[in-house]
Amino acid sequence: MTTPAASPSREGVPLLQMMGITKRFPGVVANDRVDFDVRSGEIHTLFGENGAGKSTLMRVLYGLYRPDEGEIQVNGAKVAITSPADAIRRGIGMIHQHFMLVDTLSVAENVALGEKSQRGPLTDLGRVSERIRELADTYRLNVDPQAIIWQLSVGERQRVEIIKALYRNVSLLVLDEPTAVLTPREVDELFVVLRQMTEGGRGLVFISHKIHEVLDISDRITVLRAGRNVGTIQSSEASRARLVELMVGRAVALESQPSKGTGGEVRLSVKDLHVKGDRGIEAVRGLSLEVSAGEIVGIAGVSGNGQRELSEAIAGLRTPLSGSIRLGDAELSAANPADARAAGLAYVPEERMRDGVVPFFTVAQNLLLVENRSRDYSRLGFLRTRAIRRHCQELISAFDVRTPSLDTPARNLSGGNIQKLIMARELSGSPQVLLVAQPTRGIDVGATRYIHERLVVQRDDGTAVLIISEDLDEIMTICDRVLVMYEGTIIGSADPRVNTREEIGMLMAGVKSAVPPLAGEPATASP
Amino acid sequence: MSRFSVAVGEAWKDRRRLLLSWFALPLSLVAALLLGAIMMLALGANPITGYNALIVGAFDGSYALGSTAVRAAPLLLVAVGICVAFRANVFNIGGEGQLAMGGLASSATALALPNLPSIELIPLVLLAGAAGGAAWGAIPGAFKAYFNVNEILSTIMLNLVAVQIMNWLLAGPMVDKTQNSTYGLIPETRLLPRASWLPILIPNTQLHLGVLIAVVVAVGVWVLIYRTSFGFRIQAVGLSRDASRYAGMPVKRTMTLAMTISGAMCGLAGALLVFGSISHRMVTDGSLTGFTGSDGFNGIVVALFGALNPLWTIISAFLFGGLLVGGDALQVATGVPADMVTALEGLVVVFVVSLEYMRRRSRTTSSPSRRSRARPTEPVAPAESLVTADERSDP
């Protein structure tokens, strides 16, 4: 397929039409009769919360998933896209969030990968390099065809991906959160390139969480919520408020259980914290917060705004660049997990199968993971089997961990029971501060309710509880105070009994003026 | 409860699984022996005569049993060392080098202290052997833990370094200068002080104190792994570095220590080779195997056949010791080279690993929902960890 004739934004047959796409996974409808189309020469954004179904829809388009229902038309002709290779043949390209490049090969070699050489069995890197230079000149993409991928910055790698798509002459390009890894300057440069790419009549699908970027670059915006298309609007008619309203929807009011006492002593205090993320970009940028005894503070925010790095820094799993973390009287900014625990921290991690349990260990062994040195359970280095089993038996009945026996491997338990097991272990040491990341993600309703009740009980016992969650309903239900994290810092705070879901949603989208600061809140650093 | 009825529904599959897990090891031994019989037939020998000679040579009478036990002792210690390292998910292929370093350290100690009584000298030389091996195990352990250096490569490389050190020491500083040879000096030490010789426990056999020590150490290591909090941490680190770090365990130190203990076991085996030898010298022919008799590698087979459990390893070591001792009798009786025993060992490993693979495949294909549904614990699979360890390192 070649680039369509230069007829930007002329009404007619869309480049792509997806009609009534339904994709079910066990227990979830990821896409529910979604309609989506892309016209020649436009940038059409897919917008929505995590798990709203954006990626699923694009995977259907790229041939990674087969839809259960619905029809896809490319240039007005009905097609069945069976594989990524098939999608590429039809002129559909995709730039994944994690780049698909071979680190040890050059730019030209990466571009040539999977393409037929014009010289038969021999490579044709000279011609490929020449074409890359032409494309780089036309689109002002500064890329050296001879450079080896591992030498390049993230922004440069993304340019290589774009060159790859241009080289293949795609007519429709999907960019999955392309700005997540870029600095603001690089984002501006990218947008210039994207605009230029549409001039030849290409259509682009842009996926992002960041509302200002979406309004900046899009011609049209489609908002997905819980797998449904809840609206496709012209960018000129969209506003931040309208997008947030569509994204968040109207929630059913949930009963909240406010804290009895307030004004306990400050147990956890984070000041001007800076933490680097895995991709080398600063993920936490000058964040400050305080959590007192007897309150539940929730950190809301769209994922990828530094929440994971923040929780790992507090837990001692990630060393901060600068700033201070105080837990009680202990300074933890250069700590390791053992020190954080010694200072009174309990941590329920986000990746429970990776960090929270040893899947091949039994329930009893997993319950012993933290306290294996404690004098209660080992004497002169020898494990006190009987005391351990009694302790474990008490814990699993106290926390309602449903397991056939203490000797069942943890990997055989359901997600909810694993989370209860981790909670049982973490709370058994009566912590000063409890940090819980994504307390109930992927967990059934019954276990979710139980875990929420437990968190409230812990708060009433005087523990300082900090919850990081992407689930706004959860935050609104159990937190006494909400801090919203955006681009590595706390952009604002809210009171779940006073502020609405929409107001918090605005903060999550980076709109700062949405909620007037509450009296008595700790000062929050600006981004 | 419904989950138990599910378990009942899967009873047939469970039975097949059970068969494969409990009988995998005996089955692989039988299969290897059958193939060995075919090899003997091909070489024009009668396999019944051959195996009869092998069994008589290894197990018939107190002298044969004593020789087998003596041959098994260093194998057992190496295998126990492999078990410790394996529990921490480190593969110690450096047994050969650690044996040599243990032998050298213990020999040097004995030569330096010729006048001590047995009661002091024997514990000292054994400790020196353990220390030599420990040092040689700690290096790759620390490299693995702190710099993520592949331990399989580093331990093999250190084997090569160890053989050079051994050749240099035995031909140079430690050589017996009193020997009168017309062809230059043989690379061996002087006769070691009589007080350092491991005493014979049963008269008219070779059974020496080293055998007892090896068995006691094996039991001790089992206790260490399964009954102490340190062993608990070794297991946790071996199964999940991430979860162990999160739980506040000193992951890197634990890995290094596990490799150090593993090296110490091999070093102790090296001391047994020296002080339990008939010549009572440390001797080499210029290659590593000249001193170790390949025990550093055979120990790996023993550990695998012992399901990487120190207690099972005691039986496994005795069996393989018997194979090695009986191999000579087999050669005498049938003319088939004793090296065939090495081939048998290799076949055993091939069968153990492939049966384990079959067992796992039957499990994963029969119950796709096993992750989501709680079930009673299945029987502990002897060699399960063999395959799972590979999968763990590659999520």
Above 50 in pLDDT, residue A522? no
How far apart are the CA of A480 and the nearest CA of chain B, in angstroms?
28
Residue position matching structure tokens 């276990």: A447
Q: Specify burial of residue A281 (Cβ count, 10 A radius: 0-12, 13-18, 19+).
A: middle
The residue type of A2 is T
Which of A180-184, A320-324, B54-58 shows the lowest per-residue confidence on average (mean pLDDT)? A180-184
Above 70 in pLDDT, residue B152? yes
What does the pLDDT average to over A153-173? 90
Helix (H) or strand (E) holding A22: strand A16-25
What percentage of chain B reaches a pLDDT higher than 70?
Answer: 84
Structure tokens at A140: 């002002």
Count chain A–chain B contacts defined by CB atoms under 8 A: 99
Above 70 in pLDDT, residue B72? yes
User: B363 in helix, strand or coil?
Assistant: helix
Residue B178 or A355, more confident? A355
Please count the CA atoms within 13 angstroms of the CA of B168 that sit on its side-chain side.
7
pLDDT at B213: 96
Residue B114 or A52, more confident? B114
Domains of chain A as residue ranges with CATH:
1-91+170-247 (3.40.50.300), 102-168 (no CATH), 257-344+431-527 (3.40.50.300), 353-430 (no CATH)
Q: Confidence class of residue A115 from pLDDT cuts 50, 70 and 90?
A: confident
Q: Specify burial of residue A523 (Cβ count, 10 A radius: 0-12, 13-18, 19+).
A: exposed
Neighbours of A78 (CB within 10 A): 10
Q: How far is CA B298 from CA A270, B145, B221, B362, in A?
A: 56, 26, 19, 30
What percentage of chain B reaches a pLDDT higher than 90?
Answer: 58
Long-range contacts of B217-222 (CB under 8 A, 24+ apart): B217/B77, B217/B80, B217/B265, B217/B268, B218/B76, B218/B77, B218/B80, B218/B310, B218/B311, B218/B313, B218/B314, B219/B310, B219/B311, B219/B314, B221/B80, B221/B83, B221/B84, B221/B261, B221/B265, B221/B310, B222/B309, B222/B310, B222/B311
Query: Could you tell me if A249 lies within 8 Å of chain B, comparing CB atoms?
Result: no
pLDDT at A254: 45
Q: Confidence class of residue B220 from pLDDT cuts 50, 70 and 90?
A: very high
Q: Which residues of B62-100 are buried (b: 16+ CB within 10 A; e: fewer)?
A: eebbbbbbbbbbbbbbbbbbbbbbbbbbbbbbbbbbbbb
Chain A residues 414-473 with CB within 8 Å of chain B: 414, 417
Average pLDDT, chain A: 85
What does the pLDDT average to over A392-396? 94
What percentage of chain A reaches a pLDDT higher than 70?
Answer: 90
Contacts of B3 in chain A (CB under 8 A): 404
Compute φ and ψ for A242, nearest 5 degrees: -65, -40
Annotate B335-352 with DSSP letters as a single string.
Answer: ---TTHHHHHHHHHHHHH
pLDDT in tens, B117-135: 999 999 999 999 999 999 9
Nearest to A382 among B227, B245, B395 (CB): B227
pLDDT at B157: 95
Q: Confidence class of residue B390 from pLDDT cuts 50, 70 and 90?
A: very low
Above 70 in pLDDT, residue B395? no
pLDDT at A3: 43
Non-local (6+) Cβ contacts of B146 within 8 A are: B252, B256
Whether B133 and B268 have beta carbons less than 8 Å apart is answered as yes
pLDDT at A240: 79
pLDDT at A8: 40
Whether B78 and B221 have beta carbons less than 8 Å apart is answered as no
Domains of chain B as residue ranges with CATH:
1-45+336-395 (no CATH), 69-318 (1.10.3470)
Q: Confidence class of residue A258 from pLDDT cuts 50, 70 and 90?
A: low
| Bridge partner list, A482 | A298, A494
Above 60 in pLDDT, residue A260? no
pLDDT in tens, A216-226: 899 999 999 88
Above 60 in pLDDT, residue B4? no
What does the pLDDT average to over B259-286? 92
Best mean pLDDT range from A239-243, B47-51, B343-347? B47-51
Above 80 in pLDDT, residue A204? yes
Above 80 in pLDDT, residue A179? yes
pLDDT at A515: 53
Structure tokens at A461: 């016992």
What does the pLDDT average to over B47-66? 92
In chain B, what is the straight-line distance between the N-terminal and C-terminal CA atoms, in Å?
33
What does the pLDDT average to over A224-242? 87
pLDDT in tens, A401-415: 988 889 999 988 888
In chain A, what is the straight-line distance between the N-terminal and C-terminal CA atoms, in Å?
45
Average pLDDT, chain B: 84
Nearest to B375 among A342, A356, A412 (CB): A412
Q: How far is CA B21 from CA A73, B308, B356, in A?
A: 53, 14, 7
Q: Confidence class of residue B338 from pLDDT cuts 50, 70 and 90?
A: confident
pLDDT in tens, B258-271: 999 999 999 999 99
Contacts of B230 in chain A (CB under 8 A): 381
Residues of B with a Cβ under 8 Å from any A Cβ are: 3-4, 227-230, 232-233, 235-236, 239-240, 242-250, 370-377, 388, 392, 395
Above 50 in pLDDT, residue A188? yes
Give the DSSP letter of residue A251.
Answer: P
Q: Specify burial of residue A184 (Cβ count, 10 A radius: 0-12, 13-18, 19+).
A: exposed
pLDDT at A524: 44
pLDDT at A473: 79
Which of A433-447, B205-219, B371-385 shows the lowest per-residue confidence on average (mean pLDDT)? B371-385
Contacts of A317 in chain B (CB under 8 A): 245-246
> Would you mind telling me the total number of residues written for chain B in this entry?
395
Q: Confidence class of residue A48 from pLDDT cuts 50, 70 and 90?
A: confident
Above 50 in pLDDT, residue B144? yes
Chain A residues 209-238 with CB within 8 Å of chain B: none
Query: What is the C-alpha separation between A167 and A154, in angstroms, rounded?
Result: 20
Residue A344 or B21, more confident? A344
Q: How far is CA A331 from CA A312, A314, A488, B363, in A?
A: 15, 11, 21, 49
B243 to A315: CB separation less than 8 angstroms, yes or no: no
Above 60 in pLDDT, residue A518? no
